Amino acid sequence: MAGTIFCEPSDLYNLLNQYNRLSRLAEFNYLCLIDARAKGQYNASHIIAARNAHWDTNGTFVMPEGVEVESMRYIVVYDSNTSSLPGSIPGEAIACAEALTKASQYPVQILKGGFQRFSAYYPFFRTQKILYTVKELESLKPYPVEILQGQLYMGDFKQAINPHILKDLKINALVNVSEDNSLLFEKGNHTVLHICVSDSVEDNLYSSFERICVFIGTRINTGYAVLIFSSHGISRCSTVVMAFLMHHLKYTLKEAWQHVLRCRTNMRPNRGFVEQLSDWELKTLGRRITDVAEPHF
């Protein structure tokens, strides 16, 4: 059995917002999200794309119809407010998760704090819609991924110019790491730092790291939420996010890389930016700790 683990609301938020060209929620073996609350609670409001748990007359959990649990990469279960570890007071989420572990290859995740905590952080991800077609899932507009809870987000240009996203996430400041500065003419009341750079191994982001980190740190320390974005939200913005984590939290490059990869699974700085991050690790931590020659860098 794969067992159960807790996941934070931000972990589920980021799972819901993964995409390549289209939302990954449309992939049949990507995410199975189970709402273990009573049917009435589920019908009143639930997390987008969640299925209501079903139990037979003997109180045994019934596997979701049409879901191949064995091949599912992520399985997340939630109830109203479970926040204690399995082995204490059993809740609906724990009972449901333990049943799912019998078939899952990966640990089944229990949402810490349940629906109450998640919907308090992300009320815009609540819905009453029960059934989604593949086309509807493909057309969902992902939000920027969350790097630091309520403080730092990473996304693409389309997300940065979406006023609903900026409002929902309470974004006050943006870092535009691209050659396109058209956002400057539509920024409204938002503060924008534009770093003009192309996604080329020859381009220099290192010389802007200090300025960017001071900009982000100042805004976060005064209660602002910051969005870092580039054209596609994959290379340039992930480089800047890692530079900030190394500066602000004293992460090694490897730790920063792993953190950002957990938030967005297809992030990928180009090789030139990786070398610049290695130089930044030397500057911020006083020595090179991470071997960037490793295959996964």
pLDDT tens readout for residues 240-253: 999 999 999 999 99
**Pairwise CA distance, residues 146 & 158, whole Å:** 16
**How far does Cα 33 stand from its chain's mean position?**
15
**What ranges do the domains of the chain cover?**
4-138, 145-285
Q: Whole-model pTM?
A: 0.94
Give the contacts of 264 (CB within 8 A, at least 6 positions apart).
14, 18, 145, 154, 233, 234, 238
Q: What is the CATH superfamily name and number for domain 145-285?
A: Protein tyrosine phosphatase superfamily (3.90.190.10)
pLDDT at 64: 79
Sign of torsion, CA 23 29 33 34? positive
Q: What is the pLDDT of residues 100-154, one digit of tens each?
A: 998 899 999 999 999 999 999 999 999 999 989 999 999 999 999 999 999 999 9
Distances (CA, A) of 234 to 17, 38, 117, 156, 292: 14, 40, 29, 8, 18
* pLDDT value for 87: 47
> pLDDT tens for residues 56-107?
888 788 877 778 889 999 999 999 988 765 444 457 888 899 889 988 999 9
Residue-level pLDDT at 188: 63
The structural architecture, per CATH, of the domain 4-138 is 3-Layer(aba) Sandwich (3.40)
